[in-house]
Amino acid sequence: MADNDRWIAGINAAASVLEHEAISVLEVMIEARARNPRLAELAERARGEGIAVRSVGSEVLDRMSGGVRHQGIVLRCAAARSLDENDLMALLEASERPLLLVLDGVQDPHNLGACLRSAAAAGVTAVVLPKDRSAPVNATVHKTSAGAADRIAVVRVTNLARTLESLKQAGVWFVGLDGEAEASLYAMDLRGAVGIVMGGEGEGMRRLTRERCDFLARIPMPGEMESLNVSVATGIALFEAMRQRQAAG
C-alpha cells in the first residue's frame, strides 16, 4: 500500500470517482453489514471495471476514511497527477474564454471542497492554489465537493504572484474579492478571460496577490453581516460571472 494513495469516502464521492476516474481506483471497501442498495450498485459497477471489492468491518472504514463520514464505502485510489504551471498554460490556450478561480490560502478542507463544487458547477477552466498555505485535496475535500474534485483541473503553483503575472501577460484579467473595495462585484465585466481571486479564511488575500489583481470588488451586503464565508462568496462571484457570460452568448 503506497503512502501517497488517495482515500475517497462517502457514497456520492465514490460514485463520482467510479464514473469519471475508475482507472485510478485500486480497491473498493464496503461495510460488511451495510444494507444500502446504492452500495451494492457501486460494488457491481466496480467489479464491472475489474476493480477488487472487499467486505470489511466498520472500524476499518473509520480508520481509512480519516474521520470523514464514509456511509459504508471507502475507495483506495492511486495518487492523482499534480497539475502545475505548464498544465495551466495549456488549459488556457485550449479555452476560448477561460474562467479561472484563484484561492489564496484556503486552508479549511470543507471550504476548499465547497469552492471546488461551485467551480465545477460554474464551468471554471481551472482552480489555482498555492502549494503552501492551502488545504490538500484529501478525503474531506472529495466528500465536501460531491465529486467535483475529480471533474475539475486543480493546479498547484509554487509562486502564486508570479503565476498571476504570467497569466496577465497571457491576457487574463483578475478581479480580487475584498470587503473593503469600493467597486461592486456586479459592476465588473466578467465576460472575457477572467480570474476570480479569493483570499483565505480570516486574513484574506496576501499583499502580493492583491497587488497582481487588476480590479478589487466587494459583494454588496445590505444586511448586518460584515463578511461571508469564503466558499459562499466564491459561489456568488462565480455564478455572477456565469450569468454575465451566458447573457453575452
Q: Domain segments of the chain: what residues?
A: 6-77, 85-248
Assigned architecture for domain 85-248: 3-Layer(aba) Sandwich (3.40)
Is 23 annotated as ligand-binding? no
Q: Give me the torsion for CA of 38, 39, 44, 50, rounded to 10°.
A: 130
Per-residue model confidence (pLDDT) at position 81: 64
* Mean pLDDT, contiguous 10-residue spans, the chain (249 residues): 71 87 89 91 94 93 85 85 84 93 94 94 94 83 78 91 95 94 96 96 90 96 78 96 90
Find, among 80, 79, 78, 100, the residue nearest to 88 by Cα.
100
Is 228 annotated as ligand-binding? yes
Pick one of 3.50.50.60, 3.30.420.40, 3.30.590.20, 3.30.1330.30 as the CATH number of 6-77.
Answer: 3.30.1330.30
Per-residue model confidence (pLDDT) at position 80: 64
- Cα separation, 214 vs 219, in Å, equals 17
Is 235 annotated as ligand-binding? no
Read off the pTM.
0.78
Tell me the one-letter amino acid at 54: R
Tell me the one-letter amino acid at 35: R
Per-residue model confidence (pLDDT) at position 54: 94
Find, among 110, 76, 80, the residue nearest to 7 by Cα.
76
Q: Is 44 in contact with 98 (CB distance < 8 Å)?
A: no
Three-state helix/strand/coil letters over 10-30: CHHHHHHHHHHCHHHEEEEEE
Q: Is 198 in contact with 238 (CB distance < 8 Å)?
A: no
DSSP assignment, residue 98? -
Per-residue model confidence (pLDDT) at position 4: 62
